[in-house]
Structure 1
Amino acid sequence: MDEEIWEDRSEGFGERLLGLLLDRARHLPPQLIAPLIAEEVARIGGRDVSILLQDYAQELLVPLPGRKLHVSQPEPVSNSPAGRAFLRGEVVEVAQAHGGLRMYLPLLDGSDTVGVMALSVDTVGEDDRRLLTRLSCLVADLLVTKNAYTDQFFQARRREPMSVSAEIQWSLLPPLSMSVPQFDVAGILEPAYRVAGDSFDYALNDNILHAAVIDAMGHGLDAATMATVAVGAYRHARRVFVGLAEKYAFMNDAISRQFGPDHFVTAQLMHINITTGEMELVNAGHPAPLLIRDGRVVRQLESATTLPVGFGGQEPRIKEHALRPGDRVLCYTDGIIEEHLAGSDLFGEERLVDCVNRLGQEPSQGVRADLRLLSHVLKSERGGRTSDDATLFMIEWRGGAADHLAVLD
C-alpha cells in the first residue's frame, strides 16, 4: 500500500492529500501547522522542508522555526533562488551538486506572496509540480489564518526591536501587494521597525479600486494614534459612501473632533476604474503622485488644493485623470524627499524622479519587486538614513475586462 501511495501522483491522490491536510489543520494549534506541512511534503517524496517568511524590512526571508522543519540561515530577497520565487511568484528549481533538486515555491495568499516553501526532492515530474504548487497555496492560506491566533509568525519576521507605534501601523496595513489581470498594487513602509504616522489602504469593490495614502503629523504614539483614527474613518466611509468628497469629509470630521484644531493628516484619496483607467484624485496637503509611463516620470498628477484632513470644512475639488494601459502611479510621503543629506541639502523631488527614471531603464520584475528595489535605492541615496516615515505606494493599471470569471475560461 505504501509503495502505491508513493508512486501515485494522480489528481485523486492530490485531492486526498490536500483534503487530509485541511481536515487535520482545522484542529491543530498554530505551532503544529509547520510539522504537519513537513509530514505532508514527505508523502510526495520531499524532505528538508523550510518555511521562509519575509522580514519587515523586506530584505531577508527568514526560516520559521518548528519541529520537523529544516531551519537554516536567512536568505536575501535579492539575488537568491528563494528571493526570485518570492518576488516573481514563480517556482524556482535549483540542481544540487549531490543530485536532486532544491525547489522554492512561493506561498501565495490570493495574489500576495507571504513567503516561500523550500524543499528537496530526488526527482520531480509534472504531476509533482502541480501538486506541490497547489500544496504551497494551501500552506499560505493556513499560515495567514493561523497568524491571527499566535505571535510566532510575527516574532520570526522581526530582525530587530520594534516600536509600539510601528506595531500599531503594521497591524493596520492591508496585504502589501495585490495583483489581478487589470492592475497591480504594492506598498512599503520605512523605517520598518519605527514607522509611526504613515499608512496606506486599498480595496477593490466591483470595478473601482479605492486607494489612500496618509501621513499623520508628529512622531511616535501620537502620530500612530492619529493614523489609526484616519484609516479607520477612511475604511468606514469607504464601506458606507461612494464619493471621494464624502470620504474626505468623514475623515476630516473624525480627526478634528478627536484631536482638535492643531492636528492634521495629509492624504491622497483615489478611485480608479479598472476597466477604463479613469482616475479621480483628492490631494489633501500631500506631495502630488508621479505618473510613470514607459519607465519614466512624465508628470505630477496635480489636483486642486485641498486642506489637510483635520483642517478642512469645505468640499474638496476632485481632479480627474486618464490612465493608459501600462501606466504606473507612484505615491510617496514627504519623508522621501525631505530627508537632509550631507551639507543639509534636502533630498528633493528631482532626485526622486532621477532614481525612478534610472531604475525604469532596467527590465521590470513586477510592481512589488520594482517598488522594493526603488525603496532600497532611495534609502541608499539618502545616505542610509530614514529620520522620518518614508512610504511608497504604487499602482500599475493594465486595463481589460473586469469580469474576473473570464480568467477561468
Structure 2
Amino acid sequence: MVDAPDVVLRALREAPPDQLAEAVDRAIRSALGAVRTDVFVADYRISGLWPMLDPDLPAAGFLACHTVAQRCFSSQQPVRDGAEDGACRLYLPLTVWGERLGVLLIELPSAPGPVVAGHATEIAASLAVAMRAAERETDRYRRARRRERLSMAAEMQWDLLPGRSVAHHAFHLAGQLEPAYTVGGDHFDWSLDGDRLTVTVLNGEGSGLAASMLTAVTVNAMRNARRSDGGLVEQAELASDTVFYQHRGHRHVATLLLELNIGTGRVRAVDAGSPHVLRLRGTVVEPVTLEQQLPLGMFAETRYELQEFQLAPGDRLFVVSDGVWAAEPAGQEPYGQRAMARSLRGTRLQPATEAVGTVMRELHAYHADSDLRDDAVVVCLDWHGPRERNGG
C-alpha cells in the first residue's frame, strides 16, 4: 500500500487515453482495497457533476453522491462521507494548475488513516493531469461534459479556450461563457510566462458561425504575436491588420488586452473598444477607466497605445462583455447600471472560480431565467500580491 500512488501512476501511463477512469478504478481497488470508485466530470455550465463509470446510477444514489461531490468541487477540499454499512467515501477534487475538471470518488471499507488519505490525494492529482493531457487524443471527456448538443460556433469557441481557470501563488483567474451551448463570438484567452500574465477578452461581433470564425482569427493573430515575444501593442496591431485585410473594415472586434506583472500588480492595457473592467476593492465596486481606442479590424494599420493602472493586494478585477453589461431584459435598466455591482459585491468571499458562476447565475435570474439575448463572458482575476507580502 506504501507505493499505491506509483501503482496508479503506472496504470495511467499504460492506459489508452479514453480508458483512464477504468484504469484508475482497477488500480485503486488493487492498491487501496477500495470497493468502488467513480470519476465525476463538470459540465460546460459548471452546473453539475456527472459520473463516467456508473452513468446509470439510481436517482437516489446519484443525488446523494452528487451533493457531496459538488461540495468537494466548490470548496476544492477533500470531503468524507460515511455509508450505512460503515464504509467511507472519499471525494477528492480533480484539479490541475487551478483548472477544475471534476471529482474522484473512492469508497473504502472503513475510514482511512492519514497515509491512505494522503495516497488518495496524490492519486487524484495524477488522474487530473492525465485527463487534461488525454483530451487531445479522445473525445470521451468532452462528451461527458455536454448535457446537450453544442452549436458549431460553440464547438469552435470551447476548443479555442485556454481553460476555465488557472491558479498561482500570486493570482487566481477564471472565466465563463454563456450561453454555453450556443455561444458565438465572445471569448477570453490567457497565458502565463514568468512574471507576466496576459489576459484578453473579446466582445465578439455578430452571432453564430461567422462570429466564431472572426473570433478565432483574432485570437490566433494575438497568440501569434505573443508567442513571437510581441507585447500588447504588437498583439493588438497584428490582430487588427489581420481582421481588416480579411474583411476590409466591414467586421471588427472590440477587445481588451491586459498584461499583469504578477510581482508588482502593475497592469498594462490596450483598450480596443473593449469589454468593461470593474475593480472590487473590499466592498467597493468601481470601473477602471481606460481610454477607448478603435476596435480591432476597423481600419488599416491602426496603431494602439498602452495605458497602465495599479492593483493593490487583494484586488479583484472583473471583465465583462456587452452581453453582461448592457443586458436589458423585458425593458429593465441595463444589468451593468446597478444590479451587476450588487452581484459583484456578493462574490467577495468566493474564490474566482465560484465568482464567475455567481455572476452568470445572477445574470440569468435578471433575465427571469429566459434565454440570454446576447453572448456573455465574465472573467475574474484576483491578485493576491507578491509572495513576500503574503508571508510565503
Q: Residue by residue, what CA displacement relative to the aligned partner does 1:335-356 show, whole Å, maximum 9, x if unpaired?
A: 1123232236543432211221
Give the Cα–Cα distance (whole angstroms) in 2 for the partners of residues 86 and 288 of structure 1: 29
Which amino acid in 2 is paired with 1:375? Answer: M
* Contact in 1 for aligned 2:203/2:275 (Cα 8 Å): no
Q: Secondary structure at the match of 1:349?
A: coil
1:181 to 165, 169, 176: 169
1:33 is displaced (CA, Å) by 2.1
* Contact in 2 for aligned 1:168/1:224 (Cα 8 Å): yes
1:319 is displaced (CA, Å) by 1.7
Q: Secondary structure at the match of 2:214?
A: helix
Which amino acid in 2 is paired with 1:19? Answer: D
1:158 is displaced (CA, Å) by 0.9
Q: How does 1:353-368 map to 2 (within 5 A)?
A: 353-360=341-348, 364-368=349-353
Match of 2:244 in 1: 256
Which amino acid in 2 is paired with 1:279? Answer: V
Match of 1:4 in 2: none
TM-score (norm 1): 0.88
Which amino acid in 1 is paired with 2:72? Answer: A
Give the Cα–Cα distance (whole angstroms) in 1 for the partners of residues 283 and 62 of structure 2: 29
Q: Percent sequence identity over matched residues?
A: 28
2:20 to 30, 33, 39: 33
1:392 to 371, 378, 383: 378
Unaligned ranges ≥5, structure 1: 1-8
1:212 is displaced (CA, Å) by 0.3
* Contact in 2 for aligned 1:82/1:104 (Cα 8 Å): yes
Give the Cα–Cα distance (whole angstroms) in 2 for the partners of residues 53 and 375 of structure 1: 20
Q: Residue by residue, what CA displacement relative to the aligned partner does 1:76-107 show, whole Å, maximum 9, x if unpaired?
A: 89x93211211222101122233232211001
Which amino acid in 2 is paired with 1:172? Answer: L
* Contact in 2 for aligned 1:328/1:396 (Cα 8 Å): yes
Which amino acid in 2 is paired with 1:118? Answer: L
Match of 1:237 in 2: 225
Post-superposition, which runs of at least 4 consecutive aligned residues in structure 1 deviate over 4 A?
A: 69-77
Unaligned ranges ≥5, structure 2: none
**Corresponding position: 1:308 with 2:295:** yes
Match of 2:331 in 1: 343
Match of 1:292 in 2: 280
1:277 is displaced (CA, Å) by 0.4
* Contact in 2 for aligned 1:52/1:62 (Cα 8 Å): yes
* Contact in 2 for aligned 1:304/1:317 (Cα 8 Å): no
Give the Cα–Cα distance (whole angstroms) in 2 for the partners of residues 293 and 173 of structure 1: 28
Match of 1:6 in 2: none
Q: Residue by residue, what CA displacement relative to the aligned partner does 1:48-103 show, whole Å, maximum 9, x if unpaired?
A: 2110000011100011146xx984659689x9321121122210112223323221
Give the Cα–Cα distance (whole angstroms) in 2 for the partners of residues 248 and 30 of structure 1: 37
Q: Residue by residue, what CA displacement relative to the aligned partner does 1:291-315 show, whole Å, maximum 9, x if unpaired?
A: 1111431x21111220000015342
1:151 is displaced (CA, Å) by 1.4
Give the Cα–Cα distance (whole angstroms) in 1 for the partners of residues 266 and 340 of structure 2: 26
Match of 1:319 in 2: 307
1:88 to 75, 85, 110: 75
**Corresponding position: 1:275 with 2:263:** yes
Question: Once superposed, what is the RMSD of the aligned Cα atoms?
Answer: 2.4
Q: Secondary structure at the match of 1:80?
A: helix
Give the Cα–Cα distance (whole angstroms) in 2 for the partners of residues 57 and 302 of structure 1: 30
Give the Cα–Cα distance (whole angstroms) in 2 for the partners of residues 140 and 71 of structure 1: 23
* Contact in 1 for aligned 2:176/2:377 (Cα 8 Å): yes
**Corresponding position: 1:168 with 2:144:** no
* Contact in 2 for aligned 1:63/1:72 (Cα 8 Å): no
Q: Relative to 1, partners in 2 of residues 1:293 and 1:72: Cα closer, same or farther, differing over 3 Å?
A: farther
Match of 1:210 in 2: 198
Q: Relative to 1, partners in 2 of residues 1:236 and 1:72: Cα closer, same or farther, differing over 3 Å?
A: farther
**Corresponding position: 1:116 with 2:116:** no
* Contact in 2 for aligned 1:38/1:47 (Cα 8 Å): no
* Contact in 2 for aligned 1:147/1:153 (Cα 8 Å): yes
TM-score (norm 2): 0.92
Aligned residues: 386
1:359 is displaced (CA, Å) by 4.1
